[in-house]
Amino acid sequence: MFEAFTNQPIRLIGEDGSRTQPFELDLSVDELLQIHRDMIRARVCDERLIPILRQGKTSFYAQSTGMEATQIGIAWGVKKKHDWFWPYYRDNGLLLTLGMPMGRWIAQLLGSNEDVCKGRQMPQHFSDPENHIASICSAIGSHIAPAAGTAIAQKYLGTDEITVCTFGEGATSEGDWHAGVNMASANKAPCLFICENNQYAISLNVKDQTNSKNIAVKGHAYGIPGFYVDGQDVLAVRAVVKQAAEYIRAGNGSVLIECLTYRIGTHSSSDDDSRYRSKDEVESWRAQDPLVRFERFLEKEGILPAREEIEAYYGSVLAEFEEALQKSDASGYPTWEILFDDVYSDLPDHLAQQALYLREENL
Ligand SMILES: Cc1ncc(C[n+]2csc(CCOP(=O)(O)OP(=O)(O)O)c2C)c(N)n1
């Protein structure tokens, strides 16, 4: 059992890949290797999306390199296609590991005809009802209260689903965050709030974001447990998320988890990070790569695949990416006419007239 409100982040694997404490591994070798592949898949896609952005195929992207242990650990601690998710725009590893097809994500980034929203959401504001992933909200913190509402509905309906809501540490300074966490807690709603603390809200360092010792302690204010976890340790994140999910499913109300991680890339495609952090700092975190740490662990356990096998997997993910990209691009792009679709079952007269006008103008 992990304790809430620890002073140090909960950790199972050290930098060198060895166990920091004795623990029983409740994952098979196949599962451990799948976690490794999930981390690689997230990393490859993230790196591949930068040139896609520079080629102008999409106009916005939020990188997640360095945050794979947090995001893949979360996905492995919950019940996929069962629990419901209110993620945020940087959750690339989470969406892929929850089962959202890569092609569906790429179509959303491109806004092509294959996109479920046909380009009517901002790029990287994905959704995937099939995998219980709600649409991304651009206004920071604005998805916390809807997540609390989802959890209250789950309790009311008597399901054994839980709601998982992720956000950056910047979101915890928004009024919406406090209202939402309070609402979930006061209703003893089955809601798991997870802060992916990557230490910067655009240019603002977490130390200037809050005077609290960390984010997890904010659980005290709402009477819910707050767990402080090493977000570079995929097994620790998965184990704490799993324990919290079981506690919530047993009817104990909400939980807050903070995963301490780092954003290696820039905040978004329109950010110059040299204005607010040093190269040395970025390099020191690059040296604490969660993927490398997990590989060291697998090596110590004697189950790390041969380098050629790992390289082959990188290649297969790249091939999957290129195929999905080409397929999405080839599906074409929506015209203005979709503006009038999917909102009303019977288009009101004034909109029908506007559509007619645009068609006559041959726009
Ligand atoms: C209500 C609101 N205020 C400001 C912004 C502009 N904004 C976009 S992302 C961001 C930083 C969010 O930081 P954090 O929650 O820590 O997540 P991160 O991007 O670091 O993963 C801000 C301030 C916004 N989208 N919404």
DSSP readout, 298-318?
HHHTT-PPPHHHHHHHHHHHH
Residue 32 phi/psi, 5° resolution? -60, -40
Rg, C-alpha atoms of the chain: 21
Give, in degrees to the nearest 5, the angle at Cα 206 between 67 and 242. Answer: 45
pLDDT of residue 269: 82
pLDDT of residue 363: 63
Q: Which residues line ligand 1 (CB under 6 A)?
A: 90, 138-140, 167-171, 198, 200-202, 267
Tell me the catalytic residues: 263, 267, 276
Q: What is the percent of the chain where pLDDT is above 90?
A: 95
Distances (CA, A) of 33 to 30, 71, 121, 309, 326: 5, 16, 35, 12, 29
Q: Is 165:193 a contact under the CB 8 Å cutoff?
A: yes
Q: Which two tokens stand for residue 185?
A: 């807690």
| Sheet containing strand 255-260, strands side by side | 84-86, 163-168, 191-197, 255-260, 226-230
Distances (CA, A) of 238 to 9, 111, 151, 331: 14, 33, 21, 37
Q: Which atom of ligand 1 is nearest to the CA of 197?
A: 16
Helix (H) or strand (E) holding 168: strand 163-168
Residue 277 burial (CB < 10 Å; 0-12/13-18/19+)?
middle
User: 183 alpha carbon to ligand 1 midpoint, in Å?
Assistant: 22
- Enumerate domains of the chain plus CATH numbers: 29-332 (3.40.50.970), 335-363 (no CATH)
pLDDT of residue 99: 98
Q: Which two tokens stand for residue 277?
A: 């952090």
pLDDT of residue 299: 98
Q: Which atom of ligand 1 is nearest to the CA of 198?
A: 20
Query: Among candidates 272, 262, 273, 180, which has minimal Cα distance to 224?
Result: 180
Ligand 1 probe mutation, 89, 200, 202, most atoms within 8 A of CB: 202
pLDDT of residue 352: 94
User: 313 alpha carbon to ligand 1 midpoint, in Å?
Assistant: 34
Q: Which atom of ligand 1 is nearest to the CA of 200?
A: 20
User: 169 alpha carbon to ligand 1 midpoint, in Å?
Assistant: 9
pLDDT of residue 16: 97
Q: Which residue ranges in the chain fall short of pLDDT 70?
A: 363
User: 23 alpha carbon to ligand 1 midpoint, in Å?
Assistant: 37
pLDDT of residue 361: 85
* DSSP SS3 for 11: coil
* DSSP SS3 for 138: coil
Helix (H) or strand (E) holding 67: none
